[in-house]
Amino acid sequence: MEVLSSMWHSLEQDPRLKGRPLIDSPVPVFSIIGTYLIFVLRVGPQMMRDRKPVNVKSFARVFNLYQVLISAWTVYTVCVCCYKLGIGYGEPPNTQRDPTTMRLINCLYIYLFVRISDLIDTVLFVLSDFQVKKMKRSVALFIN
């Protein structure tokens, strides 16, 4: 992990992002993903083996609505900022600190947290004892 961290720091970092959690080093993101994988693949299924499934339907619905709304806001904000800045495909990086550029940077930073929070969805599946077999059967019935 030290090698990865030193490689990360050898890259030229955008000064507008210095000091923000999850950006200064790759270690937090890799730790979150590693913990997620350990829980979803090992700990969660073992923990739920002898327990009743947790009812997470209400929370899952609210959580998924939040995910849809925040993703829609992100798309809208990115489109508006890119239009105002005249950013198109293949443009060189924008290094300005004007309010529109900073709004775009903040929006994309929030988007990073939204993508990480997407991992919660799978954790909910594990806690509700959702089995892949059930999903395959549901999909097969829906298709037929």
* Per-residue model confidence as pLDDT tens for the chain (144 residues): 677 666 666 666 778 888 888 887 788 889 999 999 898 888 888 888 888 888 888 888 999 999 999 999 999 999 999 899 888 777 787 788 899 989 998 998 999 999 999 888 888 888 887 655 455 555 555 554
Q: Is residue 143 part of a domain?
A: no
**Contact predicate 32/120, CB 8 Å:** no
pLDDT at residue 34, rounded to an integer: 93
Q: How far is CA 32 from the centre of its chain?
A: 11
Which of 68, 60, 69 is CA-nearest to residue 120?
Answer: 60
Find the domain containing 78 and state its range. 2-11+21-132
Examine residue 34 and state whether it is found in any structural domain, yes or no. yes
pLDDT of residue 130: 64
CA dihedral 132, 136, 142, 144 (to 10 degrees): -170
CB atoms closer than 10 angstroms to residue 104: 20
53 and 127 in contact (C-beta within 8 Å)?
A: yes
* Encoded tokens for 114: 């939204």
Q: Per the domain annotation, does 63 fall within a domain?
A: yes
Query: Does residue 35 sit within a domain?
Result: yes
What's the confidence (pLDDT) of residue 5?
A: 65
141 assigned to some structural domain = no
Is residue 16 one of the residues assigned to a domain? no
| Number of independent structural domains in the chain | 1
Q: Does residue 137 sit within a domain?
A: no
Task: Indicate whether 46 belongs to any domain.
Answer: yes
pLDDT score for 32: 92
Query: What is residue 144's predicted lDDT score, i.e. its pLDDT?
Result: 47
